[in-house]
Amino acid sequence: MFDNAPKKAVRGDYDRRWLSDDFFDLIIWYRPDDTIYGFQLCYDKSYWERALTWMSDRGFSHAEVDSGEQVYLPNQTPILVPDASFPGDRVLHEFMRRGSALPLEIRQLVTDKISEFVQRKV
């Protein structure tokens, strides 16, 4: 189940809300009028972390999260690298199971966009 993090202001960027559990990180960006601008759903964090991103003005992207942790060097920042695989059924199932307490607007948007992304990949 996702934690219940509040929305936070970010200087020079959209306000955001960062929700997480042991499988997902969900970052939601908000426009100044409080509507959702986009989101990033990072999943499978402990095994093979990847991220589905949707922005209202740019559409979708999907990437692997490369943590740079294979060789220890201080201050390594994870980066996103292109990844074509997307286990849509698994991600949708886990999101519906774990996100049941999220506000309906967020649940509906994310589930709709996961389904839309899967359809585009077919």
pLDDT in tens, 48-77: 889 999 999 999 999 987 666 566 555 566
**pTM for this model (two decimals):** 0.85
Q: Is residue 4 part of a domain?
A: no
19, containing H or E segment: strand 15-20
Q: How many domains does the chain have?
A: 1
Q: Is residue 74 part of a domain?
A: yes
Residue 50 sits in which domain range? Answer: 15-121
Q: Is residue 5 part of a domain?
A: no
Interstrand relation of 15-20 and 50-55 (parallel, antiparallel or unpaired) = unpaired
Task: State the Cα angle at 12 between 9 and 14, rounded to 5°.
Answer: 50
Q: What is the pLDDT of residue 71?
A: 61
